[in-house]
């Protein structure tokens, strides 16, 4: 009887935690004015900026620091600033900084919350023109405007709290955690496609050729080689799928 009573108490506590997690997440729902998507976000723009600034030095260090090439960095700054000054990014309240990293092996670009944007020299060196650079940076600005890091942090905290409640109530902790991880991976694919679309709009508004983003996808496809991971096993969509979505976005936004 004591064990049964203890189980009921744990179950009630677990259910209370789960209910709190759901109510908290519902209260964090808002419509993103740049994407039109309803998403749960828990960080203010000021908090996003602070996190990005705090993490930027260590992210840079992981890729060998900044590239010691003033001319190349000036080009990245020029293109990035043009994308900001001539688009909705200017009114976003974020503080954009563009960093060209020394890393000459990892073909990559990424954005921290709040506007800290990075591109590796390995990718930069493969770009054929300014418009392709605008495609890469516009895509990363899209991640910032889409609040994707904010959303992932919020979702991670939600599943952490939900897992705590499930673990107290019954042996469902691993199940809840597994669902959370799958959801985050699925959102990752959606984030990339959403950022591609935002990138196209930013490019058009700033006077760049949006077809150049297709060229970037071809570069990524070639770099991955014939043994690239199938889309369903990856957090990123296949470049071929992204190209089709980019073409749709160009038709949508080009006047």
* pLDDT tens column, 186-238: 447 889 999 999 999 999 999 999 999 999 999 988 887 776 655 544 556 77
Q: Cβ neighbours of residue 158 under 8 Å, at least 6 residues apart? A: 21, 24, 25, 40, 180
CA separation for the pair 119, 99 (Å, rounded) = 6
Q: Does 24 have pLDDT greater than 90?
A: no
Tell which wins on pLDDT, 1 or 8: 8
| Residue 149 pLDDT grade (very low, low, confident, very high; cuts 50, 70, 90) | confident
């Amino acid at each position: 009887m004591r064990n049964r009573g203890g189980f009921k108490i744990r179950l009630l506590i677990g259910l209370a935690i789960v209910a709190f997690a759901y109510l908290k997440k519902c209260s964090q729902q808002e419509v993103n004015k740049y994407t039109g998507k309803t998403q749960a976000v828990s960080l203010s723009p000021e908090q996003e900026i602070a996190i990005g600034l705090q993490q930027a030095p260590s992210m840079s260090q992981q890729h060998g620091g900044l590239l010691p090439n003033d001319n190349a960095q000036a080009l990245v700054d020029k293109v990035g600033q043009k994308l900001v000054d001539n688009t909705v990014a200017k009114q976003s309240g974020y503080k954009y900084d563009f960093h060209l990293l020394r890393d000459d092996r990892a073909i990559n670009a990424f954005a921290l919350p709040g506007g800290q944007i990075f591109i590796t020299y390995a990718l930069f060196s493969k770009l054929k023109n300014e418009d392709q650079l605008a495609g890469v940076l516009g895509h990363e600005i899209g991640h910032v405007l889409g609040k994707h890091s904010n959303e992932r942090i919020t979702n991670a905290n939600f599943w952490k709290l939900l897992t705590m409640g499930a673990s107290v109530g019954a042996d469902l902790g691993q199940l809840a955690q597994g669902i959370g991880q799958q959801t985050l991976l699925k959102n990752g694919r959606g984030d990339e496609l959403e950022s591609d679309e935002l990138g196209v709009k930013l490019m058009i508004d700033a006077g760049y050729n949006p077809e150049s983003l297709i060229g970037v996808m071809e570069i990524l496809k070639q770099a991955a080689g014939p043994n690239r991971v199938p889309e369903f096993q990856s957090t990123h969509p296949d470049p071929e799928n992204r190209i089709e979505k980019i073409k749709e976005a160009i038709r949508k936004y080009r006047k």
